Structure 1
Amino acid sequence: MKKEMIKLLLSHNVISEEEAKRLDLINDETIEESIKELGFGKTEHITKDKICETLETDEIAKEILCFRKVFSTNSIAKFLANHSAEEGTVLISEIQTKARGRLGKKWEAPEGGIWMSLILRPQVPPARIGLITLATGVAIAKSIRSLGVDARIKWPNDVLIHGKKISGVLTEVNATFNEIDWIVVGIGIDSNLKLEDFSEDIRIGTTTLTEELPAKVDENELIAIFLNEFEKVYQLYKDGEIEDILKDWRDLSDTIGKYVNITQTGGKITQGYVVGINNEGSLIIERQDGTLEKIISGELRTVE
């Protein structure tokens, strides 16, 4: 299977002949695992040609790899990122069999959704890593809103319609204390799906574009709209125009002004009103005693 993967990467000019020879010598079980169930069959709905019909990007999506079925587009994207894939490479699969969400949460990615990953190599300070999730949320929300629905962003990585999850972001990074090698951003959008396409525990708090709209969505067009929006916000991210990103995020936020319960890593629980986010993307909470607390990461639940 590894040889087939290398052949695929060569055919898309992701790696050179010399790099292919080096990869062929690698005996790495994690590589084998990440590409084990890679589907080389022709996609049935999503194609590069159809996406490019409405794509307007300059740097993002110069390379688009479309698959029928994979374990996880993020796993393949990390494999490619570790082997010199160019910035802006996009991987899309019609089905993911072992998709995962933030903090290892269960994520289902059946046929009918949009499941994709982007490889990024921003030359920005590592302190800015957290903002890429917020920026991606802005791009997703704007894309879905273009369809006429009121998509809003829940900190840190979800997009909602009427309080129900329609999309999520999984960001994975390889970086040192002073340099980012790569960022892989995974995006899932519940597009042409019905709630019964998910297991019962996933249906709670979930919605789909099929549930929200009277007609099916053109997935290729929606992918292109998202990539167009993402390139705009990513350019702001790279240029350090953080306030522009945060303004859009605040305008689209479903979190600011709400009373929330946040469980942080280690089990610490914080309750209070969300008063905003700072320039690093951390949430600012006003606790009951009037003091402010910065939350870098955690699981957020709105308290009614």
Structure 2
Amino acid sequence: MYFDTIDSTNAYLKKYWKKLPSETIVWASKQTGGYGRMKRKWISQRGGLWFSVLFKPKNRPMNPWHYVRLYTMSIKYVLSKYRLETVIKWPNDLLVNNKKICGILGEGIYTGNIVSAIIVGIGLNVNNIIPDDLKNIATSYVEEKNKELNLKKLLKQINSTAYYKYYLKYFKKDKISIFTKLWIKNLNIRHGDFIKVISQSIEKRGKIVSIHGDYLEIDFDGKIEKIYAGEVSVRKERI
């Protein structure tokens, strides 16, 4: 489903998810109310690829974070075919030279305690020029490669990769842990790295003990704590 302008592709699917079939894609040239994790505003001007995907599968894992990983891996793979190498920033971003090029948001729709649907929202900077006040933290394909991509073709490539390369193969009870391990291998952090953990106005520095799908175990001056993906931002410290 294509819109020239919409408030938010995620918000649209959250409103109409019951009526729409699984794997419905909503794509817009411009979002006026785009948002990311922790409800941070996401600037969505023309030239970027802004879309959301609805999942209502039967007999598939229904953890929203699995679907975030599905798209970080798929977009990383597709961009590599356009000779742009990215790294995955735990838990939901793609970076080029430490600048964000893509953010991904997974949201669960609950019926009681049961997840009835999952919506994955993707914001990928492609042909859009990054505002001057964000150039030190964000980038786009056109700014990295000095050429534009066909957005409709790119959208199809990303979703085909997600579905055929990863979803059908790994999104099974006995295979999803294999996919999570594959995703961990593509992260920009490793065991033993020092990171800064930002939660609201609090910042702490620690050392990674172990990396899991939904959380990190961090050594804060001898005290081991679990840091969950939905609660904090994590930045790798430069030594």
TM-score by length of 1: 0.70
Structure 1, residues 69-98: CA drift from partner, whole Å, max 9, x if none? 1111111111121x3311000000011111
1:137 deviates by 1.3
Work out which of the residue numbers 74, 99, 102 in structure 2 matches 1:167. Answer: 102
Q: How does 1:1-304 map to 2 (within 5 A)?
A: 65-81=1-17, 83-123=18-58, 124=60, 128-176=63-111, 178-195=113-130, 198=131, 200-231=132-163, 232-236=165-169, 238-240=171-173, 241-257=175-191, 258-264=193-199, 269-278=203-212, 280-289=213-222, 291-297=223-229, 298-304=232-238
Structure 1, residues 168-219: CA drift from partner, whole Å, max 9, x if none? 0111111256521111100010001222xx3x44333101001111421122
The 1:106/1:176 distance shift into structure 2, 3 A limit, reads same
Distance across 2 between alignment mates of 1:117 and 1:77 = 8
The 1:274/1:142 distance shift into structure 2, 3 A limit, reads farther
Contact preservation (8 Å) 1:194, 1:210: yes
Structure 1, residues 47-70: CA drift from partner, whole Å, max 9, x if none? xxxxxxxxxxxxxxxxxx011111
Contact preservation (8 Å) 1:134, 1:281: no
Query: Who wins on radius of gyration, i.e. which is larger?
Result: 1
Q: Return the letter of the residue paired with 1:282.
A: Y
1:270 deviates by 4.2
Distance across 2 between alignment mates of 1:236 and 1:287 = 38
Distance across 1 between alignment mates of 2:112 and 2:204 = 28
SS, match of residue 171 in structure 2: helix
Structure 1, residues 129-181: CA drift from partner, whole Å, max 9, x if none? 33322222111211212211111100111100111100001111112565211
TM-score by length of 2: 0.87
Distance across 1 between alignment mates of 2:7 and 2:127 = 20
Contact preservation (8 Å) 2:64, 2:107: no
Unaligned ranges ≥5, structure 2: none
1:237 deviates by 5.0
Bigger fraction of residues in strand:
2
Give the root-mean-square deviation of aligned CA atoms: 2.1
1:276 deviates by 4.1
Between the two proteins, the alignment pairs up a number of residues equal to 232
Distance across 1 between alignment mates of 2:73 and 2:2 = 24
Could you tell me the percent identity over the aligned residues? 26
The 1:122/1:288 distance shift into structure 2, 3 A limit, reads farther
The 1:274/1:236 distance shift into structure 2, 3 A limit, reads farther
Structure 1, residues 18-50: CA drift from partner, whole Å, max 9, x if none? xxxxxxxxxxxxxxxxxxxxxxxxxxxxxxxxx
Distance across 1 between alignment mates of 2:25 and 2:111 = 24
Unaligned ranges ≥5, structure 1: 1-64
Q: Return the letter of the residue paired with 1:79.
A: K
Distance across 1 between alignment mates of 2:219 and 2:153 = 41
Bigger fraction of residues in helix:
1
Contact preservation (8 Å) 2:64, 2:106: no
The 1:268/1:214 distance shift into structure 2, 3 A limit, reads closer
The 1:154/1:80 distance shift into structure 2, 3 A limit, reads same
Alignment match, 1:25: none
The 1:84/1:281 distance shift into structure 2, 3 A limit, reads same
